[in-house]
A and B are shown apart, each in its own frame.
Chain A
Amino acid sequence: MLNQAATGLFPGGIYCLIGICLLLVYRVGAVVNFSQALAGTFAAFAVTSLTSDGLPTWFAITAGLLLGAAIAVVQGMVMARYLIEASVLVRTGVSIAMAVTLFSLSLVIFGDNPRNFPVILGGKFSVGGIELQTAAILAWALAIVCGIALGLTLSRTRLGIVLRAIAHSAPTAETLGVRTSRYVVGVWAVAGLITTFAVILIAPATGSVDAMGLLVGPAVAAVLLGGFRRIWLTVLGALGIGLAEGVTPMISNTQLAQVCDSAVPFVVIAAVLFWSQRKVSVGDIR
């Protein structure tokens, strides 16, 4: 059973990476970015086009990373330019609309046929009888580094203060002389770059535009476990969700398992949100 659970470590690591990027974009850009994984999806498919054209893998992957970041930059520019005074809900609506656009453009340009995604880091190794994928270790290592970096930056550096100010009220930060659009675009670019890497890493295991775009679902669940604030809870949440997804195929009926798999994030999300809102009283509603 441990081996079964361990298969969930790889997706868990990816959810963690994407979740940290989601958290970064939320903390600074004040938006729940439903399209977080889609810039990466588009880029991952572009990578396969380049490799099938004969270009070397390392070149294609680098180009893919830059493409993913570029798409994220465009998204960030739209957010910074037009939606600086919008509410979180409106911005989230925009991210949903962007998700629709990126989803369909990916399908249109690249089609939904199976592709040969390059494996960045293959191989497995055994630790104490449990099989672990090397890529899973890479994902977790990167996730923990990013998490620590994010936490320290936001809490200990001057940059972090500026970012938090922008999140709290971008227009007010503007009046203090902060060039908010640069920071917002920069944050989107960093988050886009890291997420693109994560998606390219797991691309061989997912394969379709749908599945890759929807990686954002479990990632959102992980971020919710941290109340959209706490990084280490996000990390733990991603671990838990990954392990849970690894274990659910053990239910005998495989069709039911598939549905349960997708139900895990929903149950987590609903339960966590309900719990987090339990103290919301009549005094808080506006």
Chain B
Amino acid sequence: MAGSLTNDTWNFAAITAVWEGMLVLSAGLLLERVGLLALCPMSFAGVGVYTVVYLTQHESLPLPLMLAAALLAAIPVGILVGGIALRLRGVNLAVVTFAFAMVTSTFFNTFGFPAQFSFDRKALMRPLVLTSDRDFFLMAYSVLILVGLLLSLHSRTERGRAWLFVRSSERACLATGRSVAAVKIEAFVISAAIAGLAGGIMAYQTLGSVSPSLFDPLQAISLVAVAVMVGAGSLTGAIVGGIFVAVLPIVLGDIGINSTVSSAFFGIGAVMVLSKGTGGMTATWPWIRRSPAPGVSAAPSSGSGTTAQTPVARQVGHREPAGSPASGSVTDACALEIQGLTVRYGRVMALSDVSLKLAPGVVAGLIGPNGAGKSTLIDAVSGFVPSYTGRITVAGQALEHLSPNARARHGVARTFQTCRTMPELTVGAYMSVFARHHVDQNLRDELIDYFELPPANQLIEFVDVGTRRVVELAGALVARPKVLLLDEPAAGLGDLQSISLGNKIRALPMRFDCSVLLIEHDVELVRSAVDELTVLDFGVVVGNGRPGEVLKLQAVADAYLGDTAPANPQSMDLPGAMAAGDPSAQASR
């Protein structure tokens, strides 16, 4: 058996490696960059093959047009499956796409390709320059490189980075003002186009006689297994994967092992990769491994912790002159006004007739025991509560019936209680996704300076969790929001960093022309950072006004300590501090 391999075999296999690589790339970019498990890349390719073979029988187009036709024909199918992905997520999508792969496989095995068995079938002709397999391989390989380069360029744009947001958390993507649906459809269009192009190359490789058995479900899911194994979101991974798929069977055949065993390898390989427990669907190979930005240590960023930047000292040329607070100068409308907000989850009243006014240029605090409804309020304002009664307006604009990303575009920015940053992005890249139309580098750099963040080229993977939450906060400000809703931003920060953050938050309206609603458990931080304070308990407002006064209210103490709290003003300042050995407290139990 050995030595029977000729140059012809290798040349043919090389072309196979190219289209297999494209298919692996098509599946991998959906999986690794958007987090979508779609098991039908072969179906898209099949559309490409079908188109080219069909056109051969009816027209005779030059090769570039044929490939373009294959690519374009696959796009509507991609949009169809993408539409399904808007409604179905995770395993549901995998199941549906698997069923779709089964249907297309049966279709191609039953009907074959146009004129497959007829006598006056026209063969697909390659251009003269590309008649030899070796030359055709070089052309196909160039196309693959080009596709990879275009994808790489795309991944550096804000649209491309938004894909990672969808993968990490759809909510995070919506909060930047971008549409999740647009991202998913775009991803499927690109994936289907690449697969369709691969189909065109498949057709030319065999001069129009493509075997329908290539589209069997086993092949389809083998492909996805390979994509998982090699981490196929990148071009290098795809090339490696393609070579693997094309070459391994030949090598095995040459040493006398049935070439189908190679599929078994892919399966086992994928199982091993997934079992590594990275939590994701891909391995970390050398071409994906990331390292800290040079010159920067991976240690947590140390906030100065002592003094905040004085708000008036720093001026930025393109902004309105600082020194005069934004409040009162532009508009009389409240930055945020909530009237009679009621939110029900089944029979539980999360919020009951809550009203709140946030004047422009003000930092307001929202505190309350766990379960009081604070996060629900932020969810309601930012659009993540499906239905509520009441009215919410931002700068005079009512928010009812607006989707979360529409609200973000209207000036509502928020952070999340669970940090939703992407380790694969740099600090600067992450923040730039929030920019609406073009990225204002000055603003971004100013924010990095202001919050003492790691440099813009530092990967978030090497930033500690507490600082990541501040990065999230800074990102939200890139969009120049009118209202910034902060959900416990200091959680995960040390004492000194918390104080420093509190001071910076206090100066936000002056520096960045927005109003802030701050949820925090750290009452000291809240007291020092906010101008006014609202207290929630079981979904109801129990106190509202200046921090010093509100914190002395009996109702507030009751909310934190229970009804048996002693009427001792000093012990009310810090919730959770029990008045030790107070006889009146014990007597009233």
Could you list which residues of chain A lie within 8 angstroms of chain B, going by C-beta atoms? Answer: 32, 34, 78, 82-83, 85-90, 92-94, 96-105, 107-108, 210, 213-214, 217, 220-221, 224, 255, 258-259, 261-263, 265-266, 269-270, 273-274, 277, 280-283, 285-286
Contacts and interface: CB of A to CB of B under 8 A. Distances in A.
B261 A93 contact: no
B94 interface: yes
Contact of A100 (B88, B100, B225, B383): B225
Contacts of A101: 263-264, 267-268, 271
Contact of B274 (A32, A93, A283): A93
A261 B107 CA distance: 11
A100 B218 contact: yes
B87 A274 contact: yes
Nearest to B100: A266
A263 to B, nearest CB: 5
Contacts of B84: 270, 274
Contacts of A221: 99
Interface string B251-272: 0000000101111101111110
A217 B39 contact: no
13 contacts: A96-B270, A97-B228, A99-B221, A100-B270, A104-B222, A220-B95, A259-B110, A259-B111, A262-B102, A262-B106, A273-B87, A277-B92, A283-B379
B271 to A, nearest CB: 5
Interface of B: 37, 39, 84, 87-92, 94-96, 98-100, 102-103, 105-107, 110-111, 169-171, 174, 216-218, 221-222, 224-225, 228, 258, 260-264, 266-271, 274-275, 277, 279-281, 379, 383-386, 403-404
Contact of B224 (A87, A96, A273): A96
A286 to B, nearest CB: 6
Contact of B263 (A34, A104, A217, A269): A104
A220 B94 CA distance: 12
Nearest first, the 3 closest Cβ-Cβ pairs linking A and B are: A101-B267, A100-B267, A97-B270
A89 B403 contact: no
Contacts of B218: 100, 103-104, 210, 213
A281 B87 CA distance: 10
B271 A104 contact: no
Nearest to A79: B275
Contacts of B222: 100, 104
Q: Does more than half of chain A's interface fall in helix, strand or loop, or is it mixed? A: helix
A103 B261 CA distance: 10
B66 to A, nearest CB: 26
B39 A273 contact: no
A260 to B, nearest CB: 9
Contact of A277 (B88, B269, B279): B88
Given A89-B91, A210-B217, A213-B218, 5 more contacts: A104-B260, A262-B102, A265-B102, A273-B95, A280-B87
Given A86-B274, A101-B267, A108-B260, A269 B94 contact: no
A108 B92 CA distance: 31
Contacts of B267: 97-104
A93 B258 CA distance: 25
Contact of A96 (B111, B225, B261, B275): B225
A108 B261 contact: yes
A108 B258 contact: yes
Nearest to A92: B91
A266 B279 contact: no
A286 B271 contact: no
Given A100-B270, A265-B99, A89 B385 contact: no
B88 A255 contact: no
A259 B103 CA distance: 7
B98 to A, nearest CB: 7
Contacts of A282: 174, 383-384, 386, 403-404
B92 to A, nearest CB: 5
